[in-house]
Structure 1
Amino acid sequence: MKRAIAFLTTRVLRSRLGIALVIVVVVLGIVGAARLLAGPIGLGSDLTGHPTRPISTVDPNEGDDGANATAPPSPATKPGATAPEVVARRFATAWLAHGGVSAEQWQAALRPLSTSTLTEKLTGVDPVTVPAQRLTGEPVVIPQTERFVEVTMAVDTGQLRLELVSQDGQWLVDAVDWERS
């Protein structure tokens, strides 16, 4: 009888089913050990152990006086150079002036206000594809670093977003994005 049980056990363990059972037992053992080491699920948690409310390391009743906040860097403009919002407005005006001009004329108007990277990307673009006709808002400058800013402007069909970089103290548009409103 002992031989029969040993034979069946050996045969089952060597089969695919036996190997699968051994793997399941090992995985369950590892998961169980991990749960034991992790400790009990604390208050404020669901059954998965994830918190059901935000974890706060600061008293939420304390006010923030902003003393620890860092102000965004001011864009650095070379003395006598054009400010980024002025460059952005000029670029936007030229970008929107697409009616009745050839692609070459349109691109020539944008070239002095653009980086070489953007000029290359605009090569071959048909100005008829510009999705707006006129500016409807003032430029809003969002400084990222001293040499990189984003400028947004409302246009008749949405929001124009320009990325400007400072090259040798001169601000140039490096990317154009438009979002329908």
Structure 2
Amino acid sequence: MRTALRLLGTRYGIALVLLVIVLVIVTLGRTVLDNGRGSSATDAIGPTVATVPRSADPFSSLGDDGVDESVAAAPSLSKGAADAATVATRFANAWVRKPGVTGDQWRAGLKPDASTELMASLAETDPADVPTATITGATQLQANGGTTVARIPAEGGTIVLGLQVAGGRWQVTSLDWEVA
């Protein structure tokens, strides 16, 4: 017994005690963090750590916080700003082909509801090339991640608009035409 106490007083004894303390702390820490996912004390040491299945999300075992992440947060609109359906319908009505309208007049009608990027992409568009002159149905909205998609039936196809909130108001950020 006396030689054991003398061993603990040496640097080797102190190193052994510290090693045991570290192993106990690591083992307890893994047990607490694993929260019952089938780990054991042997997971803390040795090559078996790589074979223990682990979740990619270290917080997956913490439980449900009650937040439904599938529902996107409502965009922040300025007071009195038009809703997405109104903006999409107004843009589509300005976009359809109108005989006798110049390119500058046509773009001026689109500009209040379009993003700067979309207006830049329409800079060289001839309004006579727009494939439809008549909207035939109501605007249908669908949330798609951070973008809202508006589908507007028209003669010969469907106008598809991407909308996002920017500067406190809805803006059309993309334009597509689907042939019927």
TM-score tier by shorter-chain length is 0.5 to 0.7
In the other structure, the counterpart of 1:90 is 90
Relative to structure 1, is the Cα distance of residues 159 and 106 closer, same or farther in structure 2, using a 3 angstrom cutoff? same
In the other structure, the counterpart of 1:166 is 165
TM-score computed with the length of structure 1 as normaliser:
0.57
Deviations 1:51-96 (A, max 9, x none): xxxxxxxxxxxxxxxxxx9754365252321101100000000001
Checking the alignment, whether the CA contact within 8 Å between 1:72 and 1:144 is kept in structure 2 is no
Checking the alignment, whether the CA contact within 8 Å between 1:151 and 1:161 is kept in structure 2 is yes
Checking the alignment, whether the CA contact within 8 Å between 2:81 and 2:169 is kept in structure 1 is yes
The count of corresponding residues between Structure 1 and Structure 2 is 112
Checking the alignment, whether the CA contact within 8 Å between 1:161 and 1:176 is kept in structure 2 is yes
The offset of 1:99, in angstroms, is: 1.7
In the other structure, the counterpart of 2:127 is 127
Relative to structure 1, is the Cα distance of residues 133 and 170 closer, same or farther in structure 2, using a 3 angstrom cutoff? same
Deviations 1:23-65 (A, max 9, x none): xxxxxxxxxxxxxxxxxxxxxxxxxxxxxxxxxxxxxxxxxxx
TM-score computed with the length of structure 2 as normaliser:
0.58
In 1, Cα distance between equivalents of 2:96 and 2:127: 9
Structure 2 unaligned blocks of 5 or more: 1-67
- CA root-mean-square deviation: 1.8
In 2, Cα distance between equivalents of 1:141 and 1:74: 16
- Residue 172 of structure 1 aligns to a residue whose secondary structure is strand
In the other structure, the counterpart of 1:144 is 144
Relative to structure 1, is the Cα distance of residues 74 and 87 closer, same or farther in structure 2, using a 3 angstrom cutoff? farther
The offset of 1:97, in angstroms, is: 4.5
The offset of 1:169, in angstroms, is: 1.8
Give identity over the alignment, percent: 29
Give the ranges of 4+ consecutive aligned residues of structure 1 lying more than 6 Å apart after TM superposition.
Answer: none
In the other structure, the counterpart of 2:61 is none
In the other structure, the counterpart of 2:99 is 99
In 2, Cα distance between equivalents of 1:120 and 1:129: 17
Aligned pairs for 1:72-91 (under 5 A) are: 72-73=71-72, 75-78=74-77, 79-91=79-91
In the other structure, the counterpart of 1:178 is 177
In the other structure, the counterpart of 2:111 is 111
Relative to structure 1, is the Cα distance of residues 116 and 76 closer, same or farther in structure 2, using a 3 angstrom cutoff? same
The offset of 1:129, in angstroms, is: 0.4
Deviations 1:120-174 (A, max 9, x none): 00001100000011111111111124x5201001001111100011102210111
Checking the alignment, whether the CA contact within 8 Å between 2:97 and 2:130 is kept in structure 1 is no
Aligned pairs for 1:35-54 (under 5 A) are: none
Checking the alignment, whether the CA contact within 8 Å between 2:159 and 2:176 is kept in structure 1 is yes
Letter in 1 for 2:142: I
